[in-house]
Amino acid sequence: MPNCSVARVEVQPHPVGIKKGGTALLVAIGYDLASNPQHGITFTWASDNTNIATVAATGVVTAVKQGQCNIVATPSSGPTGSALVTVYGS
């Protein structure tokens, strides 16, 4: 199972700025201990503040209101990765 070899997760782009009501696509990449990208990894996406921005299972972030939050990508095992999202006023 690929997730067993994930040593580090990067979420790109990081940081990202979005206008209120806009969207952005984030991508998570898992790396092994030798910094080789791992393929076939499934990530679960979450926002640490859904009042600021939400995120779909596909990594699409929707800006709700002005502020900052972190969007986190979690593989089934191993470390998480995150991106700082800043939502600007309309």
DSSP 3-state of 84: strand
pLDDT, tens digit (0-9, with 9 covering 90-100), for 64-86: 999 999 999 999 888 999 999 99
Q: Which fold has domain 2-88?
A: Immunoglobulin-like (2.60.40)
**Position 3 pLDDT exceeds 90:** no
Instruction: Report the candidate in 37, 19, 24, 13 with the shortest Cα–Cα distance to residue 90.
Output: 19
Q: Where are the domains of the chain?
A: 2-88
pLDDT, tens digit (0-9, with 9 covering 90-100), for 28-57: 999 999 999 999 999 999 999 999 999 999
| Greatest Cα-to-Cα distance within the chain, rounded to the nearest angstrom | 44
**Position 6 pLDDT exceeds 80:** yes
